[in-house]
Structure 1
Amino acid sequence: MSLPRSRVAVTGLGTVNPLGGDVRTSWDNALAGVSTARTLNNDWKEQYGLSVDFACQVGIDPLEHLARPEAKKLDPSGQYSLIAAREAWSDAGTPEVDGDRLAVVVGTGIGGLWTTLDQWDIVRDKGARRVNPFTVPMLMANSSSAHIEIEIGARAGAHTPVSACASGAEAVALGFDMIRQGRADVVVVGGTEACVHPLPLAGFANLRALSKRVDDPEHASRPYDTDRDGFVLGEGAAILVLESEEHAKARGARVYGYVAGRGMASDAHHISAPSTEGQARAIRESVADAGVEAADVVHVNAHGTSTPLGDIGELEAVSQALNGVTDQLVVTSTKSMTGHLLGGAGALESVFSVLAAHHRVVPPTINIENLDPETPLRIAQGETAELPSGDIAVLNNAFGFGGHDVAVLFTNA
């Protein structure tokens, strides 16, 4: 006999990303269609021979939000996630919850990259005795989930999915599952990444995954445009507080919306090329898991990275998964503004998905000058789009190298 499944509410949101150092600023700038891509203010291009020297960087100084002693023990990816987690926890009303019923799931694609490479430089140039004694706790991929777990006293589990660019969305899905399975009443979920560094820039550029618009970085991320030529690297973190509906109601929590369903699949296809079939399977599973009809899904915050191959393939997967019931859909890619946060992307776009359902408005996809004629679905092209009243469902897609496919479905409160 299957037990009845609790609805899972979203009661807190927090973020540090190129659009802003908090949720309100980020949402306002997303609705305004602000591009954050800029030429990097350093000499990396000359020093290392980089072919791409622009990215979307966070606009805050972590030391304005963290005490210097704690900041020094965190990789930038950990700094961003802890700042975002504190905002989300406060936004949720600092829930009083038994630590044995409180968990954390924060994903990352790479982990403490800056720490790893900076400390290697120190070993090479100054010797092993000069290495920071906190190097291992700073570079480990689970550093963010561990620090958040310690801060809030979460004892029901602290997990770190590492599934490339699907990591943040997978964290949301896994936290959702923990509550439905009765393992926790409250789960802090999200994703983080800090990889605006010469090595990833060189690696992605040589893979021909990055846009080459070095003379026009503000317009480089252009999902669904005929001249799109790759993504723009971004950084930051986003955190959501998930809570069983019963627990949220008992304490009178404000509810933004609900996580209603999730789908997870793997392509078994290629290390870096996407599979429409795997994506459609994850989307189809999320809709079935939520128990909604295809016509209820009115908005997709797409993975939409601005690559020639990936953008249209994803929209075809959405159409396949919804059996062609797509007239009601409006699609956006907020990566056109934030760049691609890798392991943080699915979490940030989950925040934007929740806010879209909550406020009934979709942020625009910017930089589309000539819409690709093969685009099969309606895009919020250059301006916001209104969502209908009544009960609605919003889909967030996140896909990662290796064929990791995650779809999370949210409904309005």
Structure 2
Amino acid sequence: MKNRVVITGMGVVAPNGVGLEEFETAIRNGQSGIEFYQELADLNFSCQIGGKPKISSEKLKNYFTDLQLRGLNSSGIIYGVIAGTDAWADAGLSKADEEAPDWDSGIIFGTGILGVDKFREAIHLIDAGKTRRLGSTSVIQTMASGISAYLGGILGCGNQVTTNSSACTTGTEALLMGFERIQAGKAKRMLVGSCSDHGPYVWGGFDAMRILPGNYNDTPQEAPGPLSALAAGFIPGSGAGALLLEDYASAKERGARIYAEVMGGEVNSGGQRGGGSMTAANSQAVQRCIKGAIENSGISANEIDAINGHLTGTSRDPVEIENWILGLDRKKENFPYINSLKGLMGHCLSASGSIECVASVLQLYKNFIFGNVNCEKLHPEISTLIASEKIPRKTIEIPLNIIAKASFGFGDVNGIVIFKKITE
């Protein structure tokens, strides 16, 4: 028998909301976190808009000691620590005491690139012959596993503590890795999630690829969202999301509030073959991932009420819809409701999967589907594939039982997880 896995805590740091309450209000009301940044204009970026979470210096002191804040210059670590510790507290858990770690709890917290600003600072100091001024935290702020190491020390986790990295699929992959560890009986609880740094040194490469929109710098909150006929590229974002996964028996024993059950999922790769590339998904692999997630979850395709898609606002949006149709064998009026968070906060890169998993579970738990913003005029290819009402423009209140969350990342890697309303 495999252990059932449920979600008992969540935390989020997003461009349009920090903390579950603020974030839920934002996605329900279509509040955007996308803004113009003068720094990007000064650096001659084509796309001068993006999404950054707003965190005050006072709020930081609730999560870091004065010593930890000294020299801390990694936005990804800041976002990840806030989201992760919030998820831990939301689950009603206490930090391990000072004498021994919590052997039953672990962490899988991913990132794409971490500590870019700290790297830049370090390069200048080293080139100037001032290595001793780097500080004692420069290594932990720039190593990929810095985020899981920070959280592991703060919470005192004694089970597996590690970091994964799979581009835009990172957060969804981390969740499935934690799910499998609990399912196999190797841990009772796993804090899973992902984070991403912000700023020009992270976003510059995408601007150079010309896949970011450059014609909405004066009207950032009017930039066309995913699924729109006018969408001209994704908007960069940053932040972190975290979910506390727990063995169902453990959660019931301690009387924990349960948001949803993780039924299963699938990860795979298209091998950058058959139309797949470094930047585009192999459609056959995506369809296999959809079918595998359904099979592994023990459900039927017709039971899925809603999809939170990867959908970035590029030319790949219609392809993703077609892959869902073929993977589910459902189209037009029979297609599930579908939405994308990226119109409200941008594409948060390695943090996107985890933030969007939090949004998916909130929808399931609270019985609503948030609206797709700035896509009043649907992409013509999409409008021929599925019924317009399956792409809500405003939030709708509706009973939900099963929701699928998808992430497709650079390198032709895919991840899909299936969440279900908890049943005894």
The alignment's TM-score, normalised by the length of structure 2, stands at 0.91
| 8 Å CA contact retained: 1:10, 1:243 | yes
1:87-166 equivalences in 2 (<5 Å): 87-94=86-93, 99-125=102-128, 127-166=130-169
| 8 Å CA contact retained: 1:111, 1:140 | yes
2-structure distance, mates of 1:403, 1:254: 36
2-structure distance, mates of 1:325, 1:307: 21
2-structure distance, mates of 1:251, 1:399: 36
Note the alpha carbon deviations across 1:248-273, whole angstroms, 9 max, x for none. 00001000001111110111111112
- In the alignment, what sits opposite 1:398? 407
Once the two structures are TM-superposed, the CA of residue 325 in structure 1 deviates from its matched residue by 6.1
Counterpart among 58, 69, 72 of residue 71 in structure 1: 69
Counterpart among 308, 313, 317 of residue 319 in structure 2: 313
1:195-210 equivalences in 2 (<5 Å): 195-196=198-199, 198-210=200-212
Q: Do structure 1's residue 86 and structure 2's residue 81 form an aligned pair?
A: no
Counterpart among 281, 289, 311 of residue 282 in structure 1: 289
Alignment RMSD = 1.8
Question: Paired residues, what number?
Answer: 404
The AA in structure 2 aligned to 1:209 is I
Once the two structures are TM-superposed, the CA of residue 71 in structure 1 deviates from its matched residue by 2.6
Q: Do structure 1's residue 323 and structure 2's residue 333 form an aligned pair?
A: no
Farther off after superposition, 367-376 or 61-70: 61-70
2-structure distance, mates of 1:341, 1:70: 25
Q: Do structure 1's residue 36 and structure 2's residue 28 form an aligned pair?
A: no
Identity %, equivalent residues: 28
- In the alignment, what sits opposite 2:398? 387
Note the alpha carbon deviations across 1:167-206, whole angstroms, 9 max, x for none. 111110100011011110000000101132x233321011
The AA in structure 2 aligned to 1:65 is L
- In the alignment, what sits opposite 1:345? 352
Distance 1:118 1:408, change over 3 A: same
Note the alpha carbon deviations across 1:345-387, whole angstroms, 9 max, x for none. 0001100111111111011110113101211335433201333
Counterpart among 177, 183, 193 of residue 180 in structure 1: 183
2-structure distance, mates of 1:132, 1:279: 45
| 8 Å CA contact retained: 1:179, 1:244 | yes
The AA in structure 1 aligned to 2:31 is V
- In the alignment, what sits opposite 2:239? 236
Farther off after superposition, 51-60 or 348-357: 51-60
2-structure distance, mates of 1:201, 1:8: 36
Farther off after superposition, 205-214 or 224-233: 205-214
| 8 Å CA contact retained: 1:56, 1:234 | yes
Please give the secondary structure, in 1, of the residue aligned with 2:391: coil
Distance 1:145 1:10, change over 3 A: same
Q: Do structure 1's residue 61 and structure 2's residue 56 form an aligned pair?
A: yes
2-structure distance, mates of 1:62, 1:94: 25
Once the two structures are TM-superposed, the CA of residue 218 in structure 1 deviates from its matched residue by 1.1
The AA in structure 2 aligned to 1:6 is N
Counterpart among 6, 17, 41 of residue 14 in structure 2: 17
Note the alpha carbon deviations across 1:196-232, whole angstroms, 9 max, x for none. 2x23332101112211122321122511111111111
Farther off after superposition, 297-306 or 67-76: 67-76
The alignment's TM-score, normalised by the length of structure 1, stands at 0.93
2-structure distance, mates of 1:118, 1:280: 44
Farther off after superposition, 74-83 or 337-346: 74-83
2-structure distance, mates of 1:252, 1:277: 43
| 8 Å CA contact retained: 1:73, 1:138 | no
2-structure distance, mates of 1:243, 1:169: 16
1-structure distance, mates of 2:410, 2:18: 28
Unaligned runs of 5+ in 1: none
Farther off after superposition, 89-98 or 371-380: 89-98
Please give the secondary structure, in 2, of the residue aligned with 1:49: coil
The AA in structure 2 aligned to 1:92 is A
2-structure distance, mates of 1:96, 1:149: 10
- In the alignment, what sits opposite 1:6? 3
2-structure distance, mates of 1:290, 1:232: 33
The AA in structure 1 aligned to 2:257 is R
Note the alpha carbon deviations across 1:156-176, whole angstroms, 9 max, x for none. 111211101111111101000
| 8 Å CA contact retained: 1:100, 1:156 | yes
